Structure 1
Amino acid sequence: MGLAAAGLLAVPVQSVVAHAAQPTPQPSASAQPSPAGGFPVLDDATEARLDAAIQDVLKKTGVPGAIVGLSAPGKGEYTRAFGVADKATGKEMTPNLYSRIGSETKTFTVTALLQLAQEGKVGLDDPIGKYVEGVPNGDRVTLRELAGMRSGLLSYTQTEPFYKALTSDPTRYFTPRQLLDFAFEAPEPVLFEPNAEFNYSNTNLILLGLVVEKMSGQPLGDYIRDHILKPAGMSRTSFPRGPEFPTPHAQGYTQQTASGKTENATDWNPSWGWAAGAMISDLRDMRTWAKTLATGTFPDGTRMVSPGMQKQRLTTPPTAIPGAGYGLGIFDVQGWIGHNGSLPGYQSLTIYLPEEQATLVVLLNTDIPYGPQHEEPSTVFGQAITQVVTPDHVYNLPPVTQQNPKSSAPATPASPASPASPSSASPASPTTPAS
């Protein structure tokens, strides 16, 4: 659901494995300040360069369609749609289409947790066992470690039983407890001691979603709607309970199938991603979310989370990827703050560069990896775009290996919903790379 993902929910945050044993905050892994000149004006010449770069990526990756939004105060706005929304009909991609956003859901779930923490309803350093029973190491794994991907808990999307259950019936509805059971009933549900390393795990977010529901008294989707989406003015963002998908939307294509062949995953039931990857949005709303998430402030100037809580969120200990750090449900990649998302049929990237107040959103209608390194398509687009506008801050999240238990599925390249990149919510196939 995210990062540089391996697995169905690569995120969201692709799973980066790194040592982060220190309990104390570390500085952000941001790149150096921009040189004189900074972010370019989005004039005809710059737009032509962006068009060419994006069309080149579209061609080489085989991505059917892409929606791109780029903006910065005083520099203009770039909004484009490329390719097709439906390969069967040839219908063109347009900027107003809804899209599944995979592991970017994690940023909303963790925001809900932080709001409850600042209200004193939960403590970030409380053990998860205080709220949810039956969690391995539940008396020692904290909410903070879950949000920061340092719990040591196996991701349910990395288990063979889950992968078989999903691909055998992609329309199936999964409950949060069923998802946890896939991880906790595995031969090795714990990969390492709490806070010993960084490993992107969708299990973490299912647990945090349950905490939000228990301590707020609301279903997770309702809490996010009332306390995050409405104050942010994000009326085109939703948390579906099943396969419902507002129109208009693009058709989504995946190879995370039982046969390994490309299939249309548009109407697959995203309940298996739940708090880690089920949400839907569009370009307009994700532009709003990029700045809101990175600053902790709603568009009207009121605080979404307190300055102190936002500071904790943005403390991003380094990962195994040079120039990349992961905080509390958010990453910092070469100075760009945000998250990526991936689940069968769709990928997304929503990032914000604070020093330029620049926003970049990319929405794609496939999660099929690119090239021999199984790169996330969203990363390839993000890299090409930032090479044009911020050459000193090039977004680059190479695939890395996600940790798997020895007796479970073999390691696969990580995806953002599964961070090896922080983006993937996608399930990882035991035989094929997942995004």
Structure 2
Amino acid sequence: MTGRRGVRGDGGGTYGAGIPALPISLKERLRGLTDTRNVLGCSVSVVTRDRTVYADAWGTARTGRPMTTRSTLNIGSVSKTVTATAVLQLVAAGRLRLDGDIDEVLRTSRIYGPRSVRSPHHPQTPITVRHLLTHLTPLTGGPEPGPYGYTYRTGAAPDPGEMGRWLHDFLTPAPRGWTYDPEHNFLKTVPGRAHQYSDIGFDLAGHLVQAVTGRYFADHCRDHVLRPAGMSGSDFERDRIPETHRARAHAWYVDGAKTGMWLDYRNLIPRSIPDDFTGHVEYAPYTTCLAPAGGLWSNAIDLARWARLWLGSGTIDGRPVLPGSVATEALTGHVSAEILAQSQAPLPFVSQGYAWHRLRGDADGIWQHAGSDLGTATYVMLDTKRGAGATIVCNTEVAIDADPRGQMLQLLLDAAAQG
């Protein structure tokens, strides 16, 4: 790549200080890709095992504020890799068993939640921790938007006990469970024998962390995953992120119709939209109690450290966050090709680790996780063969068939290898 290399100046003090900006020609090419897809603001980072090679940002974070590498927003399903890490730490410490029945943990929990989770179609077959981490449960979100979608709301953040109460109502048979539905909340597949991407499975994994430790999920992850990894600007609790650092989620509308992969949640938009409106719409700050599956707030600087930790087999800057053998296992396929070939996941999985996965067409050594929430799009990709990683944080929702992130990631990984 050619072009002058600058240094970011986002007013972040020592946070991310000294990281070079992208080469100008690469940044212009990346911005062309996001502009074409109407992405309002984007930040990226490029890493090797030893350092953050580049970090840069462009566009608008929210009304009146530019996007920076410190602009922080809800990163969607990339959060699952953090949740899996919290679970795997407990496995490594002997406090959870990968192949243990989750009911053994739930029934003794000191934090309110479901006391047992079994498929109504296969009540004799246990759901295990490994099933949760590899999307081998029959747990599904129910009808859309349904109970899951209605957890999204503006205003005050939920209290930390709300997730356990919600999971209890969703997964506990009537009359105790208000939103329990045996036909819609569970597929008819046998636990362990069918792969389907499950947000509920990872929310339940997050609740297991609470059940084992006796601490609320966000508090435990802050102390045992995020801070040890040096991710001081990230948190599962929105209100712990300084207001000045928060970006806003956006959607792109064409003739009054929302584009992107999510339903049109007009209740989260603080202004009315004309029937023929074309342009960006900024969501009001929203929250959900179901954080483990997709509720982490983070940014390009912290996600760079997250990628480095995984390239370093669970260790970053000499600090172990996850035992090396466990980190290696997480980036190893645990689901048979036969099961994956029949997967009901929205993407073509060819290998499923613990949260991390590989998709059809990935080069050898690639492990990845995409994230999307209402009005956001993120990505973390690891190239374990070349020892490189790349992250993308966008504050605008994109459509599955018009997603610029795949091409952007390849350009960023090539830059890491060259840098």
Do these two structures clear the TM 0.5 threshold for a shared fold by scoring above it?
yes
Decide which of 405, 408, 414 is 1:381's aligned counterpart: 405
Kindly provide the amino acid, as one letter, of the partner of residue 384 in structure 1.
Answer: M
Deviation, 1:215, is 1.1
- The match for 1:128 is 102
Question: Does the residue aligned with 2:36 lie in a helix, a strand or coil?
Answer: helix
- The match for 1:79 is 55
| 2:335 equivalent to 1:326 | no
Q: Does structure 1 retain, via aligned residues, the 8 Å contact 2:49–2:308?
A: no
| 2:223 equivalent to 1:230 | no
Deviation, 1:266, is 4.4
Decide which of 306, 312, 329 is 1:289's aligned counterpart: 306
- The match for 1:359 is 389
- The match for 1:178 is 166
C-alpha change, 1:154 and 1:347, in structure 2 (3 Å) is same
Deviation, 1:243, is 9.1
What 5-or-longer segments of structure 2 have no aligned partner? 6-21, 107-114, 173-179, 252-257, 268-272, 274-279, 342-346
C-alpha change, 1:69 and 1:244, in structure 2 (3 Å) is closer
Q: Mapping of 1:402-421 within 5 angstroms?
A: none
Deviation, 1:244, is 6.3
- Cα separation, 2, equivalents of 1:228 and 1:177: 24
Corresponding residue pairs, total: 341
Deviation, 1:64, is 0.6
- The match for 1:34 is none
- The match for 1:161 is 146
Q: Which has the higher contact order (CA 8 A, sep 6+)?
A: 1
Deviation, 1:42, is 7.4
Deviation, 1:245, is 5.7
- Cα separation, 1, equivalents of 2:348 and 2:199: 23
Deviation, 1:239, is 1.7
C-alpha change, 1:108 and 1:75, in structure 2 (3 Å) is closer
Q: Does structure 2 retain, via aligned residues, the 8 Å contact 1:97–1:282?
A: yes
- The match for 1:301 is 318
Question: Does the residue aligned with 1:85 lie in a helix, a strand or coil?
Answer: strand
Runs of 4+ in 1 over 6 A off after TM superposition: 73-76, 241-244
| 2:75 equivalent to 1:101 | yes
TM-score norm. by structure 2 comes to: 0.72
Question: Does the residue aligned with 2:208 lie in a helix, a strand or coil?
Answer: helix
Decide which of 43, 65, 74 is 1:67's aligned counterpart: 43
- The match for 1:38 is none
Q: Does structure 2 retain, via aligned residues, the 8 Å contact 1:66–1:82?
A: yes
Question: Does the residue aligned with 1:247 lie in a helix, a strand or coil?
Answer: helix
What percentage of aligned pairs have identical amino acids? 23
- The match for 1:6 is none
Deviation, 1:290, is 0.7
Q: Mapping of 1:385-404 within 5 angstroms?
A: 385-387=409-411, 389-390=413-414
TM-score norm. by structure 1 comes to: 0.69
What 5-or-longer segments of structure 1 have no aligned partner? 1-40, 394-435
- Cα separation, 1, equivalents of 2:383 and 2:325: 20
Kindly provide the amino acid, as one letter, of the partner of residue 123 in structure 1.
Answer: R
Deviation, 1:363, is 0.6
Kindly provide the amino acid, as one letter, of the partner of residue 116 in structure 1.
Answer: L
What are the Cα deviations for residues 318-349 of structure 1, in whole angstroms up to 9, with x where unaligned?
Answer: 54555742211112342332422211122211
Decide which of 252, 266, 269 is 2:287's aligned counterpart: 269
What are the Cα deviations for residues 213-258 of structure 1, in whole angstroms up to 9, with x where unaligned?
Answer: 1112221112112211222222111120669664222221145434
| 2:135 equivalent to 1:144 | no
- Cα separation, 1, equivalents of 2:305 and 2:52: 16
